[in-house]
Amino acid sequence: MNLCVINTPALEFFTVIDSSNNLVNLLDSTSITVYLINPAGFNVSTTIPVTITQVSNGHYVAWFIPNMIGTWMLTLIQPVYFPWGKSADIQVYGSDFDTISADLDKIMGLVHQNMYIDEPTYDSDGNLVGARVRIYSDSASVGTLANIIATYQITSNGIGPGKFSYWQQVEI
């Protein structure tokens, strides 16, 4: 299964060989029938173009730009070399794994792993009305300027001793 991100090219590489196991060079891509099934189960071959090009002798790539998150199925049929078809599943995600990893680091910090709160401010009733929160990638860095994943500003408004009407935490 190949992985990609929505609205970016989804690539499927394949090799074409003849009955003598020789690589087939310069295969006419118009001789290939394409079926592209989106995650909703519809054949979208006529509305989402699939481009097939040779990348080297006998090796090709089929690619398209998915517009929906989920598992797509690409099937290519060529009557001489692969009449049974070549099929692949392509999993399309809403964001790349680097973004997901960074988001997970923030979530771990916000559930109180490797965090540090400083620069507190208080109102006349002694309520905390502001502070800075930093989350860190490792416990050895907590409270330092090293390995900070994200910094947040906490604000609230005190409405009497031990009370507030809102609390917000915003990434800065």
Four-point Cα dihedral 42, 45, 48, 53, nearest 10: 140
Numbered ranges of CATH 2.60.40.10 in the chain: 2-93
pLDDT digits (tens, 9 = 90+) for 87-136: 999 999 987 766 666 777 667 666 667 889 999 999 999 999 999 999 89
Does this model's pTM top 0.85? My answer is: no
**132: which residues sit within 8 A by CB, 6+ positions away?**
117, 118, 119, 151, 152, 153, 154
DSSP assignment of 53-91 equals: EEEETTEEEEEE---SSEEEEEEEEETTTEEEEEEEEEE
* DSSP element (H, E) containing 40: none
Give domain 2-93's CATH number out of 2.60.40.10, 3.30.420.10, 1.10.287.70, 3.40.720.10.
2.60.40.10
